[in-house]
Amino acid sequence: MNPSTSIDNAAHVAPPGATRRQFLLGLGAGVAGTAALGAAAWKYIDPAQQTQPFYGHHQAGITTEQPAAGMVVAFDVLSKNKDELTALFKRLSERFAFLTQGGPAPEVDQRLPPLDSGILGPQIQPDNLTVTLSVGASLFDERFGLRNKKPIHLERMTAFSNDQLNPAECHGDLLLQFCANTAETNLHALRDIVKHTPKLMAPRWKLDGFLPPSQVPNRFGFHTARNLLGFKDGSSNLDIYDEPLMNEMVWVNPQHQDVDWATDGSYQAVRIIRNLVERWDRTPLKEQEDIIGRKKASGALIGQHHEHEEADYGQHPETSQVPLDAHIRLANPRTMAMQKHRILRRGFNYDRGLTASGQMDMGLLFICYQANLQAGFINVQTRLNGELLEEYIKPTGGGYFFALPGVAPGSYLGAGLLA
């Protein structure tokens, strides 16, 4: 299923290379003098009205265009048996379906608590919201009789050599990934879901993320967002519009020989990676670029001129100017053997203020998807063990999860798992 929004692509498609601003300016010029059409055009492109489909073979929020605001929340399931777990998944599906499409907030007697937090007002706008439900390895213990249904590659995340994991920010029975145009929409959705699932699940840990709105991919121009080290992050990411590639690398299908119900789902790795920005900001520019393997300003590979030029060190390892121990070269040597280890990245930056010692607590909320967790993230991260970048980063939390397959109208997320 291709990523989509409520925008009519046949009627309004930006020319190749056009920025959102250029497209909007051109649109405004084309309807000048026609008040009604002008008003309709501006309403048409209102980001708050953007919607993503809830129903489909795959969950939204994985190969969907990435908006500016993200949030992940891990939960411990409080349900006592499989029937209560099924009720939880049905309730979550109902709330996702409503929140992602929007509508009027329900009214109640003033003597009762309101059914909605009210932070978005009486009319809940969809605002490009997606909520993606994933399950952790701990859900497949003895509580619900699901042990023999655990996806083959799903496991509890263990520490790599540079990790300093905080147990309070690791793992979870469930993980919800919220993505929207604005942080308020994500917060509204979280509060709605918590309010509607009492005694069924409890938040375990949470982290909000963001991307610069001007650097978010959209239908009016694609840009590679920068991380808080100042480098473009994801220049060589997988193409979400290449369906055969997504079916091979991201979506579990029968050729991957996983458990039957997992078809159309995806393995998800989440990592909280603190950036030691004070130390990084005192490092010479050339050293920074050698550590990463790209030019900081343009995003081009060292020795090349443009961000999306292909790396040549796969075929010509000795002549490439990208250092052998650069981050991007260790992560992906660009050899034929590495093709099966590629991942789809969908990360956000984060900022949590200051640590107790007065250092800035900011970094990368790393999220990636793949059809095989071992071949994907775990393989790539193992290659990075001992890299030079470890002096400037410290992974502190996260976990491994499995994003459930999509849902058909009349059914609910996880129906195949719980049947």
Q: Which residues of 241-262 are buried (b: 16+ CB within 10 A; e: fewer)?
A: eeeeebebbbbbeeebebbebb
Q: Is 324 left (phi over 0), alpha (psi -120 to 50) or beta?
A: alpha
DSSP string, 60-108: SSSSSPP-SEEEEEEEEE---SHHHHHHHHHHHHHHHHHHHH-EEPPP-
Q: How far apart are CA 369 and CA 357, in angstroms?
A: 34
Q: How far apart are CA 305 and CA 388, in angstroms?
A: 24
Which residues, in sequence order, are CB contacts of 156 under 8 Å at separation 6+?
A: 136, 137, 138, 171, 399, 400
DSSP string, 168-183: GGB--SEEEEEEESSH
pTM of the predicted model, to two decimals?
Answer: 0.89
Q: Tell me the residue type at 393.
A: I
| pLDDT tens by residue, the chain, 419 residues | 444 443 333 333 343 344 444 444 444 444 444 444 444 444 456 999 999 999 999 999 999 999 999 999 999 999 999 999 999 999 999 999 999 999 999 999 999 999 999 999 999 999 999 999 999 999 999 999 999 999 999 999 999 999 999 999 999 999 999 999 999 999 999 999 999 999 999 999 999 999 998 888 655 556 799 999 999 999 999 999 999 999 999 999 999 999 999 999 999 999 999 999 999 999 999 999 999 999 999 999 999 999 998 887 877 788 789 999 999 999 999 888 889 999 999 999 999 999 999 999 999 999 999 999 999 999 999 999 999 999 999 999 999 999 999 999 999 999 999 98
Q: What per-residue confidence (pLDDT) applies to 219?
A: 56
Residue 72 pairs with which residues in a beta bridge? 177, 207
Q: How far apart are CA 308 and CA 164, in angstroms?
A: 34
Q: What per-residue confidence (pLDDT) applies to 314?
A: 73
